Amino acid sequence: MASNLNREVVRKLNREVAHKLNRELARKGIRMLVTWVMLVLVLVTAWLYSRWRYNYWASRGVPSPPTLPFLGHIHRTMSPFENRWVALDNMYHTYKNSPYFGLYEGFIPVLTVCDPDIMKNIFVKDFDHFVNRRPFGVNQPDSYSSQMLGSKKDQEWKDLRAVLSPTFTSGKMKSMFPLMCGLADTFVSSCLKDAQKNPSVDMKDKAGRFTMDTIASCAFGIECNSLTQEKPLFAQKADSFFAASPSVLLRFFMMRTLPRLFNALGFKEDSEEIGFFRSVAEETIRARKAGEKRGDFLDLLLEAQAEDSDTTTASPKHVLTDKVLVAQCILFLVAGYDTTASTVSFCSHLLAKNPEPQQRLRQELEQLVEEEGELTYQGVMEAKFLEACVMETLRLYPPALFVDRMCTKDYSIPGTNLHLKEGEFVQFPVWSLHHDPRYWPDPKHFRPDRFLPENKANVKSFTHMPFGVGPRNCLAMRFALMETKVAVAKLILAADLRIPPGHEDIKLESSPFLQRPKEGVHILLTPRKHE
C-alpha cells in the first residue's frame, strides 16, 4: 500500500515537473520567436530604409548604378582592391549618353557630372553656387588640416586665397629658378651615379627626393639633403602620408562617410606625418623671425601676415594667424611632394618609352642652350614641346583623379530639369575625361602634339584639368610646372632614357587620393657625351 502511494507521489511530482518544464519551454519558445520576429522586423525596416535612401537619384530622374544595402557604391569607390578611377570610368562609360549619374557613399548622395558644358557653369559661370570644396565633415577646428587653404570655406577661403596669391606670381617664380636649377643638377647627378651601380634607376624615388629638397629649400630655406641621404626622413614622411595602407584607407573612409563615429572614437584629423611637418614649420618660422630674410615662400607669408595684422590699416582681416600660416607651410610641403614627383617620373617613363618625342624634346632644349648659353627661366617656361610633353603626361596620369564641390545654395543645372539643394555634393571624373576618345583621339597613347600651340584649339574646354579649373584651381600650379619642367629638361639633356625589360608598364597604387606608382618607375639612363 505504501509502495503504491510512493509511486503515485512520484508520478504526480513528475507530472508537475514536466508541466513546469513545458511551460518554461513554451515561454522560451515564445521569447525566441518574438526575438526572431523583432530581428526580422529590424532587418526588413533597415532594408526598406536603405531602399528608400537609394531611391533618391532615381526619384529625380538621375541614372545610378546598382547599390549594395547600407554601402551604396562605397565598396567600389573606396575599395583597396580596385583603383577608384577604374570604377568611376566604368560607370562613366555606362552612362556616357547622360550628362551625369548619381552615386551613394554610404547614405550620402554624390552627383557625378560628365558633361564639360555643365562643368563650365559649375566651375566658372555659377561659381558662387559652388564656392566650397567637399569637406570631410569631421569638424575638428583645432586641427591644422582644417586651417589649410583647401579646407577653408566661403569668405574665409576668399580672404586667405587673396593673401596667398601674390606669393606665386611669375616674378616670384623667376627668383627661385636658379636655386631650382642647382637642385635639378644634383638630381641628375644622383640618377647617373645610381645608373652606374644598378641595372636601372627608380625615378619615383629620385624625383621624390628632388621635389622634397626643392620645396624645402625654395620655400623654407631648409636643407633636407634628401638626394644625398640613404634614407631621407622628409621624403619618407611625405611618402607615408599618401601611402594607400589599410589603416589609411579605413581612416579616409571614416572621415568621409562616418565623421561622427570618427570623432566619437577619439581619432584626430591630423596624422602623425602632419605633426612632423608642423614641428618643422614652427621651428623654421621661429628661426626666420629671429634671423635674416631669404625672399622665399616663407618670407612672403610672414610679410603677408604682418600686412594682414597691421592695425593701422583701415580694415585688418587677421586671416594669417600663426596657426593658419603653419598650416599653409604643411600643405605646401606635403601636397607639393607627391604630385610633382609622380609627374616627373611618369614623364620620364613616357619619354623613355617613346624615343621620337624624346629626341624632339632634346633638340628643342639643346637649341635653347645654344641660343642662351644655359637654360633660362624664360626659355624653359616658353619651350613649346617641353610644355606639350608635360601636359600630355598630366593628361595620361593626372595627379588628382577627381575634383569635387559642395553646392552652397540651391542651383538648377542649365539645360536640365535637375535641381541641386544646398549642401549636396558634386564630383567630376578627371581621369575619365582625360581618356575619353570623344575628346582625345587614340587616348591611351602618348601624343604631345595635342598640346602644341597650333593644336590647342582642338582641346575641348574642361576635358583637361590636372590642376583643377576656375577660381579654386591649384594655387601653386606655376611652381609645380616650373619644378617639373626643370627636372625633365635637365634629365633629357644629360642622358638617353630607355625602358628596362619587364618595366614597360607602370603598376599603380589602389589609392583613393592620387594616381601614384606602386613599385617605382624604373628607367635605364645612358650619359650623353657633350662636345
- Model pLDDT, residue 25: 66
Residue 443 φ then ψ, to 5° = -65, -20
- State whether residue 101 is helix, strand or coil: strand
Digit-by-digit pLDDT tens for the chain (531 residues) are 556 656 666 666 666 666 666 676 677 777 777 778 788 887 877 778 888 899 999 999 999 999 988 888 988 877 767 778 888 999 999 998 999 999 999 899 999 999 999 999 999 999 999 999 988 778 788 888 889 998 999 999 999 998 888 888 888 888 889 989 999 999 999 999 999 998 899 999 999 999 989 988 887 778 888 888 877 787 888 777 777 677 777 787 788 778 888 888 888 888 888 888 888 888 888 888 887 777 778 888 888 888 776 666 555 567 888 888 888 888 888 788 888 999 999 999 999 999 999 999 999 999 999 999 999 999 999 999 999 999 999 999 998 888 999 999 999 999 999 999 999 999 999 999 999 999 999 999 999 999 999 998 999 999 999 999 999 999 889 999 999 999 999 999 999 999 999 899 998 877 766 788 888 899 999 999 765
CB 77 within 8 A of CB 84: yes
* pTM score of the predicted model: 0.89
Phi-psi region of 373 (alpha: psi -120 to 50; beta: other; left: phi over 0): left
- Model pLDDT, residue 313: 59
Alpha helices (H) along 54-113? 74-77, 84-94
User: How far from each other are the two terminal CA atoms of the chain, in whole angstroms?
Assistant: 131
What's 413-478 look like in SS3? Answer: CCCCCCEECCCCEEEEEHHHHHCCCCCCCCCCCCCHHHHCCCCHHHCCCCCCCCCCCHHHCCCCHH
Task: Identify the residue whose cell numbers are 620655400.
Answer: 219
CB 100 within 8 A of CB 57: no
CB 432 within 8 A of CB 114: yes
Q: Which three cell numbers stand for residue 79?
A: 575599395
Task: Identify the residue whose cell numbers are 644622383.
Answer: 190
Q: Say which CATH class 119-527 falls into.
A: mainly alpha
